[in-house]
Amino acid sequence: MPTTLSQGPVNDRPVIGILTQLVSDEVMKPFGRTYIPSSYVKYIESGGSRVMPIRLALTGAEYENIFSKINGLLFIGGSADLETSEFARVAKIFYRLALTANDAGDFFPIWGTCMGLQLLTALVAGENLLANTSAENIALPLNLTTEANSSKMFEGFPDELMKALTQEPLTGNFHHFGVTVETFQENEKLKNFFSVLSTNVAENGAHFVSTIEGKKYPFYGVQWHPEVNRFQWDRKLNFPHSHHAVQLSSLLADFFVNEGRRSLHRFDDPEEEASSLIYNYTPVYAGNFTAYEQIYFF
């Protein structure tokens, strides 16, 4: 039977920007001022997108220009002040641009992983609301909320995987801080902006928010690390590598890149596009001094 496809314009050559992170570890400082672990790059590429690294020392006008050409943005994990660091300053520029664009019907998604989720909550709330929610080097199942079943992030997940998410340690946690469920529920800005899709319990017993999704805006956050399930292998660290863990990582990468395909931003100049991509950089083998096998330095 002939079918009619009823969908809007789709961008099948998306470029997702990844905001570089400040180097804070002394052993990494000789290699560069900012960095992106290659696991995040591979994660985005595995979903069918190219990656543009975004440096932290550019002007506001340059960031606006970049925003008009990329199709989504990833805030990675790491260590930086959520209010005063360059990382936070640049993230705030893109966050405001994304709000304005989405309000005008110009679709633009943002994803935050680990500190990236924490940063999203600080941007929305206008303040740092972190507390000690240490879950360091531990893989956990998710305590899914009722909102998870109607979420965009988990839409289309097989029933078997949704069940496994609640029973198997599929999510790698490597953090000391987070937003507690109590703090989230008491903050009207956060409660109105995000749906909580899952929670977890920290080593000190604190209940923390582990997965969030924007109610109106295509902004998503996970306190855990989906990229490590397929792309990090340090034996000393609890990276989940089971079939379900790999499936989870794959489906989330596909989901976010598909969100990026809905953005029609593009480069007008193919040469500028080519020179902006991660392919122009060579990752450094870093397994002898970090948990990452490879890191891009800038």
Which residues are the active-site residues?
114, 225
Residue 283 DSSP label: P
Helix, strand, coil % over all residues of the chain, rounded to 5: 35, 25, 40
Contacts 24+ apart (CB under 8 A), 241-249: 242/168, 242/170, 244/160, 244/161, 244/164, 244/165, 244/168, 244/170, 245/139, 245/168, 245/170, 247/161, 248/161, 248/165, 248/170, 248/171, 249/43
Tell me phi and psi for residue 80, to 5 degrees. Answer: -160, 150
Q: Which residues contact 200 (CB under 8 A, 6 or more apart)?
A: 135, 140, 142, 143, 171, 173, 207, 208, 210, 223
